Amino acid sequence: MNVPLLDLKLQYDLVLTDIKTAIEKVFESHRYILGPQVKEFEKDMQKYCEVNHAIGCASGTDALVLALKALEIQEDDEVITTTFTFFATAGSISRVGAKPVFVDIKPDTFNIDPQKIENAITTKTKAIIVVHLFGQPAEMDKIMEIARKYNLKVIEDNAQGIGAKFDGKFAGTIGDIGTLSFFPSKNLGAMGDAGMCLTNSDKLAARLVQLRVHGENPQYFHKWVGLNSRLDTIQAAVLKVKLPYLNDWSDARRQNAQYYYMNLNDVPQIKLPFIHEKVTSIYNQFTLIAENRDGLLEHLRKNDIGCAVYYPKPLHVQECFSKLGYKKGDMPIAEEISQKVISIPVFSEITTEQQNYVIETIKEFYAQG
Ligand SMILES: *Cc1c(COP(=O)(O)O)cnc(C)c1O
């Protein structure tokens, strides 16, 4: 049996006809840049996330750069973030000329440790970028309390957490600005690159709208140096068709996760994902801590099961950040976790038969000793 880590074809088959019609409409209207579908999708997202403003842009990475610029983060400012995340989180900080300051994670949720944020604050600290890793929101109550105490801005990198909640509130709507990615492997995926910023602030929303068109307002008058980063009209049309399915897809992921919890809890060599009590996760990934991780990875792949290591190397020890002066041993939890994590298939359309095969194959590996 073959079980991919993610099967985009099944989703596509479901929405195919509507997507083709929607794309054709864009072609026929010839309004390729910021066409009406962009505003319509922004409105749908604003309602879905229960937030005042949703501003589309070209990618989740650009959303982070736009957010930092809107918050006027600049050279010599320090921005605190987690060392255990996708590269874009920290790369965007460098891109605006600021300095990423990394902190370690909690060993159970893999999310940033609020206590360690407080220890990393200096007079230069201007903001925190929180990541809601694998679809589980970080501890936003504690993080917002620290931000208020030290007067810091908060960006939520919610690329992996669309629709997830912390204490009943949508992830990405709690800090100053939340960012989303519609990269095809996220829970709501476009057919190419796409991203978005969320905010409850009218002032920040107005800035973000200007920043995505070179900071201009009115046309050809520039108050800021912005980006060329629009949400493509075709991608907006695709996403508008897919959004009504998102809750079902996330529910299915949660059910698939429950099935693993029920059937893998008797394997002492693995630790199943821990979910914080105040959180609703959307399981963008189902990530285990596994004994002999590399052996398990090889065994699953040999048996046609898609799996991946997110992430094999924390950011503080990446070559491009060597000038920041971090060394191995500085973030022991992330360093250890990166050697032990493995993500297994949890996509919405996975069948029980496929899940059983994944479960059996994991058990078989550890039974062999
Ligand atoms: C995917 C992702 C991004 C970047 O999104 P793109 O749309 O690929 O630019 C940023 N942060 C995190 C945590 C991500 O998972």
Give 19-70 pLDDT, tens digit per residue: 999 999 999 999 999 999 999 999 999 999 999 999 999 999 999 999 999 9
Distance 59 CA to ligand 1 centre (A): 8
Do 213 and 313 lie in a common domain?
no
141 pLDDT above the threshold of 80? yes
Distance 267 CA to ligand 1 centre (A): 32
Distance 180 CA to ligand 1 centre (A): 8
Q: Which atom of ligand 1 is nearest to the CA of 63?
A: 9
Output the pLDDT for position 243: 98
Q: Confidence band (pLDDT; 50, 70, 90) for 365?
A: very high
- The per-residue pLDDT of the chain, averaged, comes to 97
Cα–Cα nearest to 163, from 243, 65, 278, 62: 243
Residue 201: give its domain's CATH number.
3.40.640.10
Q: Where does a domain end: 244, 278, 305? A: 244
CA distance 130 to 137: 9
Output the pLDDT for position 368: 86
CA distance 309 to 60: 21
Do 39 and 133 lie in a common domain?
yes
CA distance 44 to 51: 11
Residue pair 318/88 in contact (Cβ under 8 Å)? The answer is no
Q: Which domain holds residue 325?
A: 246-367
Do 203 and 225 lie in a common domain?
yes
CA distance 55 to 62: 12
Maximal CA-CA distance, the chain: 68
Residue nearest to atom 7 of ligand 1 (CA): 60
Give 278-316 pLDDT, tens digit per residue: 999 999 999 999 999 999 999 999 999 999 999 999 999
Q: State the average pLDDT over residues 146-173.
A: 98
Q: Are strands 169-170 and 286-290 parallel, antiparallel or unpaired?
A: unpaired
369 pLDDT above the threshold of 80? no
Q: State the average pLDDT over residues 342-358.
A: 98
Q: Where does a domain end: 205, 221, 244? A: 244
Output the pLDDT for position 176: 98
Residue 3 lies in a domain: no
Q: Reduce the DSSP state of residue 288 to 3 states and report it.
A: strand
Do 56 and 191 lie in a common domain?
yes
Looking at the structure of the chain, the number of domains it has is 2
In the structure, which protein residues have their CB atom closer than 6 angstroms to any atom of ligand 1? 59-61, 85-86, 88-89, 131, 157, 159-160, 181, 183, 193, 195
Mutate to test the pocket of ligand 1, among 6, 86, 130 (most ligand atoms within 8 A of CB): 86
Q: Which residue has the tokens 């879905």?
A: 48
Q: Which atom of ligand 1 is nearest to the CA of 183?
A: 7
Q: Are strands 125-131 and 78-82 parallel, antiparallel or unpaired?
A: parallel
Residue 273: give its domain's CATH number.
3.90.1150.10
Do 224 and 260 lie in a common domain?
no
Do 274 and 316 lie in a common domain?
yes
Distance 316 CA to ligand 1 centre (A): 18
- E-strand ranges in 142-278 read 153-157, 165-166, 169-170, 177-181, 195-199, 270-271
Percent of the chain whose pLDDT exceeds 70: 100
